[in-house]
Structure 1
């Protein structure tokens, strides 16, 4: 395990762009940043609460927060707001380029009680539809390599849901920490950042726990792959390590802007 960048605040939402650079946010102190070759540049200044980032096929990126926003070359455009939503959390991209977004209906930083929420699908035609409902604090999202099963971290329940053909079931439950960020490998393994558990867990496609990587004393918020390189965001900085599998490809978003 190697630390690439030291930071205060809570880093989140790691994503690797087409050039191998690591994008990430600072939820509490604000901003979206890009790490490459040992240096960090600011991509979006000051924006707080960014729990999810996706690379866009047209260049630029999509970032969450109080709304879902497309940002490219300093120009920003709102893509999604919803009545009653307090913000938007993690994101992933489906096989067709549609964007899947976790909706927040409470204010975590204010200590408000968790209420059931949903994951919505923003389609290539701009349509918005519910993909999953009844999720208590939706967090990390990712698709199985076949593109048919969507995994959803249910943070308040410390478990991962699997959704296929509109039906959901409990895929895995953790005994320590919470289910925060999520990534899927090319073998179908599901990797979950365990938040206050200070670790990352890997589950087999059948849901059994098969491995754990510990970072004692840290809050591990999320993770992403590029090849066999695994990047982790925490409350102290950005880390990387090499694992014995490769990440499943996440396509760029193709939603209109």
Structure 2
């Protein structure tokens, strides 16, 4: 019998099927897995964070959520969220019940609308800051853009300083590090509002040691994703990049070769690997799905 996902035999079991878990979102985003097997994910236009648990099913975790978008966690289990409404990056130390802002400004000006967030092994919090929460009425509270651009930032875990690390993208969105954290992948989804805009993933070298640690070099186009946009991305233990798109999950080798596609019935906002069981969780427009996998995610 042929494999259901050609080219992905080493990444996905031969009997794998895309399983539908929950529904009801207007635009699903930002899934993150918890230690008890639950998944939190955002419904941005619905202004809530939903929870799905294998035994308990679907429930509402936070409402109103001030338009949460991307979520992640760190090695200590603390949760992080990007809030379009609060124009901030938030952290929760109690499993998502209470949130507090940890990044709200850069250069004395309010952030645009933080979109996606990842935490490096040194505790640095990296996040993207496009304008979606300012320009889309159902994804934020509006307001004027105070930053001179849409950048990728790093929040220093020791000083709390917010430093712009990537300034050459139009609307940066999804983020992921290579397993050795020497490459930062960033998606650009400016094509959503401009026919001439981008729908690609860029790769940036990141210095790992000495005085230049966390310095980001000149980027390059890693892959152009079509159909749709490369919104959320994640990296597996072998360095392969798993990207959302309009037609499914597109998977790329570390050198940018597309290995294959996992078809999903809806456009995908974001995805994440479980660290508890061998699954990839997929937040699509109206539903949450999961896919059995044969690899582990490198980070949360």
Q: Report the TM range for the smaller structure's normalisation.
A: 0.7 to 0.9
User: How do 1:146-225 and structure 2 match up within 5 A?
Assistant: 146-156=180-190, 157-165=198-206, 166-167=216-217, 168-194=219-245, 197-216=246-265, 218-225=266-273
Q: Partners in 1 of 2:88 and 2:68 — Cα distance?
A: 9
Superposed displacement of residue 116, structure 1: 4.7
1:42 is aligned to: 60
CA RMSD after TM alignment: 2.2
Q: Partners in 2 of 1:88 and 1:11 — Cα distance?
A: 16
1:136 is aligned to: 170
**Residues 94, 56 of structure 1: CA spacing in aligned structure 2 closer, same or farther, 3 A cutoff?**
closer
How many equivalent pairs are there?
246
Does the CA-based 8 Å contact 1:26-1:48 persist in structure 2? no
Does the CA-based 8 Å contact 1:121-1:130 persist in structure 2? yes
Superposed displacement of residue 44, structure 1: 2.3
2:279 paired with 1:229: yes
Unpaired stretches in structure 1, ≥5 consecutive residues: 251-257
Unpaired stretches in structure 2, ≥5 consecutive residues: 1-17, 191-197, 207-215
Q: Partners in 2 of 1:51 and 1:175 — Cα distance?
A: 22
TM-score, normalising length from structure 1? 0.87
2:31 paired with 1:14: yes
Q: Partners in 1 of 2:59 and 2:28 — Cα distance?
A: 14
Q: Partners in 1 of 2:61 and 2:92 — Cα distance?
A: 9
Work out which of the two has the higher radius of gyration on C-alpha atoms and give 1 or 2: 2
Residue 71 (structure 2) aligned to one of 53, 56, 66: 53
Q: Partners in 1 of 2:243 and 2:49 — Cα distance?
A: 22
Residue 67 (structure 1) aligned to one of 88, 92, 105: 88
Which secondary structure does the structure 2 equivalent of 1:134 belong to? coil
Q: Partners in 1 of 2:260 and 2:118 — Cα distance?
A: 23
2:95 paired with 1:77: no
Q: Partners in 2 of 1:49 and 1:68 — Cα distance?
A: 12
Which secondary structure does the structure 1 equivalent of 2:230 belong to? coil
Superposed displacement of residue 244, structure 1: 3.4
Q: Partners in 1 of 2:241 and 2:104 — Cα distance?
A: 29
Q: Partners in 2 of 1:221 and 1:40 — Cα distance?
A: 19
Q: Is 66-75 or 94-103 further displaced after alignment?
A: 66-75
Higher relative strand content: 1
Q: Partners in 2 of 1:175 and 1:77 — Cα distance?
A: 37
Q: For residues 26-83 of structure 1, give each alpha carbon's deviation from its aligned partner in whole angstroms, at most 9, with x where no partner exists.
A: 1110122222124234332211432211225565522111211223444332111122
Q: For residues 169-219 of structure 1, give each alpha carbon's deviation from its aligned partner in whole angstroms, at most 9, with x where no partner exists.
A: 11111232111000101111001101xx22110011000111101123x12
Superposed displacement of residue 243, structure 1: 2.5
Does the CA-based 8 Å contact 1:158-1:174 persist in structure 2? yes
